[in-house]
Amino acid sequence: MLDRSLVKQAGQLISAIKTEVIESENYPDILSLLEKELILQKYINERISLSVMEELIYYSNKYSTVKTIESAKEKFRNILDRSIFSRTEAQQRQIEGLFRDRNLRKRSSDDSFLHTVHYNILYNWKNGSENDWEKEYRFTRKNYNLLLTNPEKIKYFPELSIQLFYNYLIAVSISGRA
């Protein structure tokens, strides 16, 4: 940004794409965009830098929560892969410890699409591994309904959407619901 006349244009460009990037829930891109917006604040005073910092903190926390849930999914998947047919007491304690994480128990009203989907998938796996097909169906149904009410998310998360539809198909088959 050597040419200061481009600062205003850069600010307009950021404003134009910001909504789309936030809707995509691509947190690294959101954080990068907000960082650039904060840098622009050195040159223009149209917006208070504090609000940009608040947005950075907000989306950093959302990204952290999504990553925590993704990590829990990965750990749980590894446990399931090792003990799909039988489980030792140590493995059961490991699973229970995994689900004691406050990010996996506490739900807030402003959960993002990704947070909610990963949360539901994790509990879908947990209930399925415990042969609680009624609960497994409920979490799968929540994700299915989430996609139906937010069809634009299919564009942003095509692979995840296919996985959710596939999970729903399996849950319907196992539970005998249609």
Domain membership flag for residue 35: yes
Cβ count near 6 (within 10 Å): 12
Number of folded domains that form the chain:
1
Domain membership flag for residue 39: yes
Find the domain containing 143 and state its range.
Answer: 6-175
Q: How far apart are CA 11 and CA 174, in angstroms?
A: 52
78-87, long-range: CB within 8 Å, 24+ apart, which pairs? 80/125, 80/129, 84/129
* Prediction pTM value: 0.76
Domain membership flag for residue 1: no
**pLDDT tens sequence across 52-78:** 888 899 999 889 888 988 898 898 888
**Residue predicted with more confidence, 91 or 122:** 122
- What pLDDT is recorded for position 4? 64
